[in-house]
Chains A and B, each alone.
Chain A
């Protein structure tokens, strides 16, 4: 089992550009979560999916952020246009059930200059 796979590991982009972060969850995990980690706010939930359907997107900061899960093995988080304040580490996690906790990917460190 390769775990939750995120790409890219690092992304540096200019303000105003579109950024797409990718995630492959663990096979058989019905839940997928996108978190953002910053020094100020810690780990905050952006959105989560159950069986590819978005369940709670109340943490998505604004309309510049969007997330999709076209199938059980792939999800994207898109920021368009990106701003310097979006700089953070973005984690994807998956879970079969909340009692098992989440399995996190290694994260994508995004820097917007």
Chain B
């Protein structure tokens, strides 16, 4: 039973356009959400996060949106660059003393020049 779901295994966009990666979750106890980027033969690297008390967090070209009622979050990359081509993982954690992250299966983003 997957608690964090990324339903699109892959996404292809043109350089300069917007990339939108989506993530759904089922566990209502999740209160902190993160996005990671992973290049081949490397570990995932932290990209951006959002607390459940917010609905938007922005960091340069990256913006994460959270819709708690829909249990949905998305990552927007504007403008997309070829170097953004990677696998993106959505992750979530519960509140309190639980520090473990539950990951989605990832979305492969390809940005074409």
Give the residues in chain A near B36, CB-CB below 8 Å.
Answer: 101, 104
For chain A, the bracket of interface size reads 20 to 34
Q: A106, B42: Cβ atoms under 8 Å?
A: yes
Closest Cβ neighbor of A4 among chain B residues:
B43
The segment out of A11-19, A43-51, A72-80 that lies at the interface is: A43-51
User: B19-65: which residues lie under 8 A (CB-CB) from chain A?
Assistant: 32, 34, 36, 41-46, 49
The count of chain B contact residues (Cβ–Cβ below 8 Å) is: 20
Do B34 and A101 touch across chains, with their CB atoms under 8 A apart? yes
A42-B105 contact in complex given A48-B99, A48-B100, C-beta closer than 8 Å: yes
**Which residues on the B side are within 8 Å of A35 (C-beta)?**
103
Residues of A within 8 A of B44 (CB): 43, 91, 102, 104
Chain B residues contacting A85 (CB-CB under 8 Å) are none
A106 cross-chain contacts in B, Cβ below 8 A: 41-43
Flag if A45 contacts B102 (CB, 8 Å): yes
Q: Bound state CA distance, A91 and B41, in angstroms?
A: 11
Closest 4 CB pairs of A and B: A104-B43, A101-B46, A42-B105, A43-B103
